[in-house]
Amino acid sequence: MKSKFEKQLDKSILNNLEGKLLQLAEILISDKEIEILQDYANTVSITRLNYNDHGPVHMRKVASNSIKIMNILHNAGIKFNLETENYGTFDDSRIAIFTAAFLHDIGMSIGRDGHERMTITLTKEKIIEILKTIYPDDLRMQLVIKSLIFEGIIGHMGTQKIHSLEAGVVLVADGCDMEGGRARIPLIMESGSKIGDIHKYSSAAIKKVYIEEGKENPLRIQVEMSESAGFFQIEEVLMKKINMSPVKKYIELYAGVIGQDLKRYL
């Protein structure tokens, strides 16, 4: 059963979309198989592996972040690869990236190592089924969008080189979901200290991530934290993902402890 917060996110997502993208979101949100796999991915991540949130809430936040980033870049006149390469429109790019973001961590239901590829294994047939609904009788678009979805999924950890702006958006959007809530459940469950705790405590220090229009560059990301431990999250998670993203050249990145001067990274 979906949590109250999950339902709120669903409502917010649907209220801010239109056209084919809204049709796609309705399909993804209502699909029972996807719901079960997202829930189980979180159980494996939190209960079995003691990682932070990799479940339905996280995947919805990354999908929302992705659309927000794409809209900001589009409004600044940036064209995505499908458009510059004459394969599709901005809306087609949004369909690919929303799907990739909404599904990207389902492979955590198997384990951490190689979970990007496991996501593709688990969702390939579902993705094909959905694309046949969104692009009926258009095999070309079904195959092109499928490839772009796979690139977005494969590239979201920043460990494999990606080349499209579309996939680069998923990478940045994933890194931006670092607010304290992602570490809340592991912190509550924690019964002792162990190596790797810095990831949970640095995430808990992050209070707000703003994704907005920039002044010098099209996209501004600003991270506010309660204590300096949050800088670990910026430098070891977000910056590493941004550095691997083709979107990097369009980003301004600021971070700082609330009440203190912001540090500019980009």
| pLDDT in 10s for each residue of the chain, 266 residues | 788 889 999 999 999 999 999 999 999 999 999 999 999 999 998 889 877 778 899 999 999 999 999 999 999 999 999 999 999 999 999 999 999 999 999 999 999 899 999 999 999 999 999 999 999 999 999 999 999 999 999 999 999 999 999 999 999 999 999 887 554 444 444 545 454 455 556 778 899 999 999 999 999 999 999 999 899 889 999 999 999 999 999 999 999 999 999 999 99
Are the CB atoms for 180 and 203 separated by under 8 Å? yes
Answer whether 0.75 is exceeded by the pTM.
yes
User: From CA 88, how far away is CA 101, in angstroms rounded?
Assistant: 19
User: From CA 102, how far away is CA 38, in angstroms rounded?
Assistant: 9
The secondary element (H helix, E strand) that includes residue 263 is strand 263-264
HSE toward the beta carbon, residue 109, CA cutoff 13 A? 21
CA 109 to centroid of chain Cα atoms? 17
Q: Cα angle at 183 between 42 and 109, to 5 degrees?
A: 15
pLDDT at 112: 87
Domain spanning 181-264 has what CATH number? 3.30.300
